[in-house]
Structure 1
Amino acid sequence: MYVCADSLDDLLARVYRQLLTRGTSIEPTKGSAREIYGALLKLSAPRLRLSRTESRGLLFSCLGELLWILAGSNALDFIAYYIPEYAKSSDDEQTVFGAYGPRMFGTGPNEQLARVISSLKSKPDSRQAVIQLFDRHDILEYHRDIPCTCTLQFVIRDRRLHMLTSMRSNDAWLGLPHDVFAFTMVQELVARSLGVKLGEYRHFVGSLHLYKRDDKKAIRYLDEGWQPRKPMPPMPQGDPWPSVRTLLEVEEAVRNGDASRTDRFDSMAPYWADLATLLDIHRTFKTNGNQNDIRRLKRHLKHDGYAMYINKRYGMASSIKEQATIFDRSNEASKARHERT
């Protein structure tokens, strides 16, 4: 199966239709599922990495998982703060064996992303810029969680950075939206590190599957219909890693309730400050759920595309101005789409 789309929503819609109508029934360990074996998915506009729907607009959990990876962490308490279901993946109630972070950002041979960037700087046409996540040792003994992702490959062609993710297995409902978000963000980080444009994202999967318990959810997703597109803003030009380190420090402070370190918001570029503010909004909801505090924080955001995720996630109605803006953009997008057909 080959699916090409501009946005994550278009991609998911086509994937779910294919799985629901053509998927082969299988009985894996985690329950009955429909599977398509050997699927290649292409996202031609990687910044359209977030769903705009009610059910798949997973901004906060996606951001939390990305930062867990970038921190090089395998700590359960870190990721469970954003995705509590990860507790089921821990062998010892403290760590997650299959965590990607230590495999990408560890010391020595596990410092893989830095070596990929260095390789492409010295040899822009290299075909060896590959990160390995799944290891032969992962199946020597039982673990509750082993990597679903085998490799990440980066290539520069026509001064654009393209990326190919190869996965042994992918849950199309729970895993796919998170994987596309995290890996396209890593792709953009590498592109900025190399001073090249962001290219296309490809996602190859051995077993692309939809558990039957999620069939009705996928059908409801399809019933939501076409969504207006809103890409994330471009990552700032230049070396992104100092900003990533600052964001990780802020994330740790916010998650641990250390208000003394959140003053670094003011020194961050708007792109990164917005992500830090989203973390603060998430913390505010988890600690007191005060919508006035959330509205106050929301006013600090520079990118207007994040408002719908906040309103939806925290049960807040959009302001009149926000509703009008969304309505106008939706009409413009619908008109443009009609003119193309």
Structure 2
Amino acid sequence: MIVLTAGSASELFTAACQAVLLNGRVVCPRDLTTTEVVGAHLCLTNPRRRLVDVPPVRVINPAFAVAEALWILSGSDAPWIFDYNDRLRIYADDGVLRGAYGPRLRRWDDQIDQLDAVRQQLLKDRDSRRGVIQLYDPSRDHRGYRDVPCTLGYRFFIRDGRLIMHTSMRSQDLWLGFPYDIFTTTLIHELMAGWLGVELGEYHHHVDSLHLYADNVEAAAASLQGAEGTAELDPVAVPWPDLDALIECVISGNSGPGDGSTWDAFGRTLASYRAWKSSERDQARKIAADTSDPLGHALVTWYDHLTSRTSGGR
């Protein structure tokens, strides 16, 4: 069991890499070699520092981080997410990710919006212990689909005027999955705090199997020498009744709402990456450079990483 606390997702990531490398044991589920720690509790004290950024070894695609978070928050399992991460296709059955979190979050059994149910529960009873969102569904997840949710669920507590969030995961790929999962979960955390009118408290990430695949062990070790980014995203909020319309605007528009908010940065990040994928590289870089939010800097770094990789660099 490892217990780690840090003020930024980058610091938490590198601390977790070190802990798994030092304490992990080799196991081979599905004949894939991993170094694993069973039982991990990772605490992020500032959830707005949600970007994992440890250059030069570990930089992430912020466009996919934003796209996945909005895909989940919108309740979608639509295939447009593949435009931001084509590797997800290998987990799809008949073109659909059967373990997609969005439908489970926003329309469980085609009728329950769990996000709204928790919001209403905590507005009614500020001390409630029933602020629970369930994602793992035995009726679906024992059918042999390729995509089975790693996340079991979320819990929310208001204590001392602050919203505390706990996430429980049966499994976590530390190198590939953690940087994107913590972006989504802390965004949900911050939005929920806004809907409840309370301060943003600590974020807790509980993992049963925290692991590194063999292909990523060397890079994980190298990341311990990287420069940990601690950039803090600007506050993000939206009135509950406006959530779905705003997400649709950000996803489908050429940019965000144009008001300089974090939502605008989300939209510009997606628009920039769409330009990059269309080989409009100069336009993509211009949009990224004009995005003042830390996401803009992260996107420039990602493009530099892609360019270096294409030209034969690491």
Q: SS state of the match for residue 186, structure 1? A: helix
Number of equivalenced pairs: 301
Q: Aligned equivalents of 1:243 and 1:249: distance in 2?
A: 10
Q: Measured at CA, do residues 244 and 221 of structure 1 come closer, stay the same or move farther in structure 2, by a change above 3 Å?
A: farther
Percent of matched pairs sharing the same residue: 32
Q: Aligned equivalents of 1:275 and 1:61: distance in 2?
A: 10
Q: Which residue of 1 aligns with 2:309?
A: none
Q: SS state of the match for residue 315, structure 1? A: helix
Q: Aligned equivalents of 1:274 and 1:243: distance in 2?
A: 16
Following superposition, the deviation at residue 111 of structure 1 comes to 1.0
Matches within 5 A, 1:207-286: 207-224=209-226, 226-236=227-237, 239=239, 242=242, 245-254=245-254, 265-266=257-258, 268=259, 270-286=261-277
Letter in 2 for 1:46: P
Q: Aligned equivalents of 2:31 and 2:61: distance in 1?
A: 23
Q: SS state of the match for residue 265, structure 1? A: coil
Normalising by structure 1, report the TM-score: 0.83
Structure 1's unaligned 5+ residue stretches are 255-261, 317-341
Q: Aligned equivalents of 1:295 and 1:38: distance in 2?
A: 41
Higher helix share: 1
Q: Which runs of 4+ in 1 moved over 4 A?
A: none
Compare relative contact order (CA 8 Å, sep 6+) and give the higher one, 1 or 2: 2
Letter in 2 for 1:193: W
Letter in 2 for 1:233: D
Structure 2's unaligned 5+ residue stretches are 306-314
Following superposition, the deviation at residue 295 of structure 1 comes to 4.4
Matched-pair contact (CA < 8 Å) for 2:35–2:212: yes
Q: Which residue of 1 aligns with 2:33?
A: 32
Pairing 1:5–2:42 present: no
Letter in 2 for 1:111: D
Q: Aligned equivalents of 1:56 and 1:290: distance in 2?
A: 19
- From 284, 299, 307, the counterpart of 1:310: 299
**Residues 34-59 of structure 1, C-alpha deviation per residue, up to 9 Å, x if partnerless?**
11111111001111110222323331
Matches within 5 A, 1:1-341: 1-29=2-30, 31-54=32-55, 55-75=58-78, 77-92=79-94, 94-106=95-107, 109-224=111-226, 226-236=227-237, 239=239, 242=242, 245-254=245-254, 265-266=257-258, 268=259, 270-291=261-282, 293-298=283-288, 300-303=290-293, 305-315=294-304
**Residues 149-181 of structure 1, C-alpha deviation per residue, up to 9 Å, x if partnerless?**
111000100111110001111111111111111
Normalising by structure 2, report the TM-score: 0.90
Q: Aligned equivalents of 1:241 and 1:298: distance in 2?
A: 30
Q: Measured at CA, do residues 284 and 122 of structure 1 come closer, stay the same or move farther in structure 2, by a change above 3 Å?
A: same
Matched-pair contact (CA < 8 Å) for 1:247–1:276: no
Q: Aligned equivalents of 1:163 and 1:222: distance in 2?
A: 27
Q: Aligned equivalents of 1:99 and 1:139: distance in 2?
A: 11
Greater Rg by CA: 1
Matched-pair contact (CA < 8 Å) for 1:171–1:208: yes
Q: Which residue of 2 aligns with 1:320?
A: none
Matched-pair contact (CA < 8 Å) for 1:35–1:208: yes
Matched-pair contact (CA < 8 Å) for 2:52–2:60: yes
Q: Aligned equivalents of 1:124 and 1:220: distance in 2?
A: 45
**Residues 72-107 of structure 1, C-alpha deviation per residue, up to 9 Å, x if partnerless?**
1112x2111111111011111x21100000000116
**Residues 18-39 of structure 1, C-alpha deviation per residue, up to 9 Å, x if partnerless?**
1112101101016100111111
Q: Aligned equivalents of 2:173 and 2:150: distance in 1?
A: 9
RMSD: 2.0
